[in-house]
Amino acid sequence: MNALNFPFHLQAVKSKALFLKRVITSYTGELQTEDTKYLLDGENIQNICARRDMKLKRIPKDVVHTIPTTLLFSLEGFCDLDWKRLLKLQMQDGSFLTSIASTAFAFMETNDPNCLRYLQRVVKKYNGGAPHSYPVDMQARLWAIDRLQRLGISYYFEEEFKDMLDHVQRYWNQDIGIFSGRNSNFCDIDDTCMAIRLLRCSQVSFPGEKILEDANKFTHNFLQHCLSNNQSLDKWLIAKDIPGEIQYALEVPWYASLPRVEARSYLEQYGGANDIWIGKTLHRMPDISNNVYLEAAKLDYNKCQNQHQFEWTNIQEWFTQCNFQHFGISKKELLEDYFLGATSIFEIERSRERLAWAKSLIMCKMITSYFTQEQPITSTKNSNETRQMLLNNLLKFLHQLSAETYETLGKDIHLQLHSVWGTWLMCVREEKTACQIESELLVRTINLCGGHMVDDEIISSIDYKNISNVTNKVCFTLQNRKVSGGINCKENHNEVELEMQEVVKLVLDNSSCGINKDIKNTFLAVAKSFYYIAYVTEELLNFHISKVLFEPLEYDS
């Protein structure tokens, strides 16, 4: 049956090929004969040609031939080109702006050997085929890093990220920037600074960076307008949930975006291999959008969540045994404190630091409630039983942290741990600024449990004092703002923003001699957790707790 139909099918293929050839040549204006006029009779074709002509009129021909522009990517759509001038804009690899079609068209018109070598190299690499552009090594690396970070699994690929960023840096043109492929004589912003990226980038700013401040205002207003007017489609990508990505970026600023909250949100927005990229063809970019990333991230997320749920069960038993409710502390507070630790330090192997975070917050509440009567327990305050309970809980807690750290890491943190808690206790008892140094207590405890012991020389250094003092200040400010009604009024917001910018600068500054990067990152993590609690509503907090701790992700069948 197939054999009988073969001539018919062959004729159909030939007819379609002839049709496409005539349409393309008519479209470029190279062939306008009576034989092809019927192709242009359709209203849609006429509209396309009219739009093309209107666009071409807006393009100065001299610019096309003089400087590298995006027009080099689509030379096959032009006619009457001066190829002698255009060949001077050719890239080192022989292509015209990495475009296969432009380069093929250039070769047809000029027989340029560099064009031919480029095309042969691409066809050989892709075993007889060709993508619409090559190479895309800069875009692929930057976007892959972006995806893996937002999916929450970047901590597995630190060495690979270093190699990828070294590659990008190697080909980064300090004068013009980068393009999707290396060694380009042209740059664009599609690979680096599209609106959502620019919004996120602008939030990681240092004090006095007016350009980023302006960028933040512009992108926030622009994205808000797009979302409100249902105009949130991407120019180059058909993605699963771009509106959801925009909404999260607008609702949760970077200072309040805790790692596991962001990962959970993006895991529900990332389309994996179903993301379709828009170029001269609809195509996929497996280095950026693939199901391996998605399934690995889901597996990691659920595995971490299982560990967190196990820890939540154990910490509730600890809470009951220590009778914290006697000091007016509720299990809801315990859940919120554990959530902050789990969403900020989520890796399975960092259980000790995560639990130290949550338990330290509860211990601080127990001690301050006893000494300051923020939650009255007047009937038992002066009893020996209450004092003994408080002392026993604290000593057992410190002993447990010291013993577990020594057993796991072989480091004796006993003296430093008791010293930092002793200093804080003296401030509480003397009714000094205990709340103002609570964040420092939390940071020191977490770092010690992670094996990051800091000697007296570093603690007394200017760099360490600066980062510690600024973190204490912003966390104390945020605590007060939460009590007094939030941080969203203009006066409060500006004050907090400046303080957070200072924390970010001190944490990211590589000149802080002698301070371990992980130690500095803990300062930022703690500051962001205080910002988060001051920023979110009770409803949003409960939603995040439910999602992050108790709702597993489903795997695709």
pLDDT digits (tens, 9 = 90+) for 115-157: 999 999 999 999 988 888 999 999 899 999 999 999 999 999 9
How much is the CA Rg of the chain, to the nearest whole Å?
31
Query: What is the Cβ-side half-sphere exposure of residue 1, based on CA atoms within 13 angstroms?
Result: 0
Residue 496 · residue 207 · CB < 8 Å:
no
> Are β-strands 276-278 and 237-238 bridged in parallel, bridged antiparallel, or unpaired?
antiparallel
- The pLDDT assigned to 257 comes to 96
Helix (H) / strand (E) containing 282: strand 282-283
Q: Are strands 276-278 and 282-283 parallel, antiparallel or unpaired?
A: antiparallel
Element (H, E) at 5: helix 2-27
Tokens of 195: 């609106």
Amino acid at 288: I
In the numeric block, the tokens 């509503």 are attached to: 537
Question: What is the structure's pLDDT at 115?
Answer: 94
Which parts of the chain sit beneath pLDDT 70? Answer: 1-42, 189-193, 373-383, 431-436, 482-492, 512-513, 557
Cβ atoms of residues 315 and 334 within 8 Å: yes
pLDDT at 489: 55
Q: Are 186 and 97 in contact (CB under 8 A)?
A: yes
Q: Is residue 403 within 8 Å of residue 395, measured between CB atoms? A: no
Within 10 A of 547 (CB to CB), how many other CB atoms are there? 17
pLDDT digits (tens, 9 = 90+) for 194-216: 788 889 999 999 999 999 999 99
What is the per-residue pLDDT for 283?
87
Structure tokens at 470: 């600024």
- Give the number of other CB atoms < 10 A from CB of residue 521: 14
DSSP codes of every residue in 538-552: HHHHHHHHIIIII-P
Closest CA to 496 of 517, 466, 525, 473: 473
Sign of the C-alpha dihedral computed for residues 247, 252, 258 and 259 taken in this order: positive
Residues ≥6 apart with Cβ < 8 Å to 387: none
Residue 554 per-residue DSSP state: P
The pLDDT assigned to 557 comes to 55
C-alpha–C-alpha distance, residues 473 and 503, integer Å: 10
CB 134 within 8 A of CB 98: yes
Task: With residue 276 as reference, give the H or E element that holds it.
Answer: strand 276-278
What pLDDT shows up at residue 37?
54
Gap between the Cα atoms of 398 and 394, Å rounded: 6
Q: How far apart are CA 514 and CA 363, in angstroms?
A: 31
Neighbours of 542 (CB within 10 A): 15
Give me the sign of the Cα torsion angle 62, 63, 66, 71.
negative
The SS3 assignment for 429 reads helix
Q: What local confidence, expressed as pLDDT, does residue 49 receive?
A: 79
402 neighbors 412 (Cβ within 8 angstroms): yes
How many Cβ atoms sit within 10 Å of the Cβ of residue 461?
Answer: 17
Find, among 471, 482, 429, the residue nearest to 446 by Cα. 471
Q: Tokens representing 299?
A: 């597996």
Assess whether the previous peptide bond of 68 is cis (omega < 30° from 0). no
48-69, pLDDT tens digit by residue? 778 878 887 887 888 888 888 8
- Domains of the chain and any CATH numbers: 22-125 (1.50.10.160), 137-283 (1.50.10.130), 291-550 (1.10.600.10)
Q: What span, in angstroms and rounded, lies between the C-alpha atoms of 294 and 231?
A: 26
Give residue 34's pLDDT: 52
In this structure, which amino acid lies at residue 450? G
> What are the residues whose beta carbons fall under 8 Å from the beta carbon of 285, sequence distance 6 or more?
136, 140, 143, 275, 277
Residue 320, Cα to own-chain centre: how many angstroms? 38
3-state SS record for 17-69: HHHHHHHHHHHCCCCCCHHHHHHHCCHHHHHHHHHHHHHHHCCCHHHHHHCCC
Q: Which stretches within 330-461 are classed as H helix?
A: 331-344, 351-372, 384-409, 414-429, 438-449, 456-459
Instruction: Choose among 302, 300, 219: nearest CA to 254.
Output: 219
pTM, to two decimals: 0.86
